[in-house]
Structure 1
Amino acid sequence: MSRARRSDSWGFPRWGGYGSASDATPVRMCDRSGCNEKGDCPAPKSPNSPERWYFCQSHAAEYNSGWNYFEGLTKEEAEQREARERADAGGYKESAHYGWAGSGDGTRSRDELKALETLGLDPDADFEAVKKAWRTKAKLVHPDVKPGDEAAATEFHKLQVSYEVLRAAEERREWKG
């Protein structure tokens, strides 16, 4: 007769978690050859097929970059499908709860994006482009160039505030960097 093995649990509180095991947890690797990242983003191997590739985030983005959701449809059919799917925000477009998100890659604050918009720049513009756009626009509406013009003074003030917001953000990035 074999004896029962004693438990490693010494009562309450339990030293091990419920259902804990010492075995390693299996991790699915990215299906892209040569990649050693975790593959947790499924992608179809072919249209209407249940089989899936599993990629890491960067390779999933690369795989999806060439995807044409409207391939094989006429222009009218594509417009109808887009209108139908926009009605409930359940289609290929961004979900409704992400609708507040603006452009950019998430590294800039809302104030920075508004300042870039005021200067007429893209969300990924570097600080040299900010300086150039600020100088160009400020020269047109500077109070010395247009004395007594309230609209020009207001526009100049907006440009100054935008530049200060972006300059402070750039200094913070350099300080952290």
Structure 2
Amino acid sequence: MASDPFSSRRHNRFHGRVENDGRPCAIEGCTEAGEFRAPPPEGPASHAEGPRWRWLCLDHVREFNSGYNFFTGMSPDEIEAAQRPFSGWERETRAFAANGATPPPKWQDFHDPLDAIGAKFRERMKEAKARADGKPLSTDDRSALKILGLTPDADRKALRQRYTELARRFHPDHNGGDRSHEKALQEVISAYTHLRKAPAFT
């Protein structure tokens, strides 16, 4: 026996079908079960009156939906207001209200067993650290230092040593002709060329 496609609560809710105990369709002469909710012919009730519905069978609710007009009963001004592109945006919500801002979370309330947040924060603070000698570091300087794996306080000697180390590591002549590291080598050369002319290393 084939199962009813509307038998589960999930499918009932999705299709709008509501099982009942024999409630008939509200259309006169129809003997099918009224399992789909629709507004009455005179239109939905006002908020003061509370909800008001009639129950229709599948065929009649389809017929109702095909002829439904959202703007029925509205004045020309009300229709125009409902059709404006930003209709409803003039209502202030909590997120945008002047006094409705949600306070930021307190860091002490976070449980970070793997130290993911703290480690990332310390890494960024380390990258943004100023040099002990007070020499300036631009954003490009810091990016180049990161490529070379150097700290902000590295001096010219450390720069040359690190460049030599990485150039030997990535150069094809020093790893059996393997050219898979050519991109990394170009980045190292570019970073070194930039830093050796930077104010912090002159």
Q: Which has the larger radius of gyration?
A: 2
TM-score (norm 1): 0.38
TM-score (norm 2): 0.34
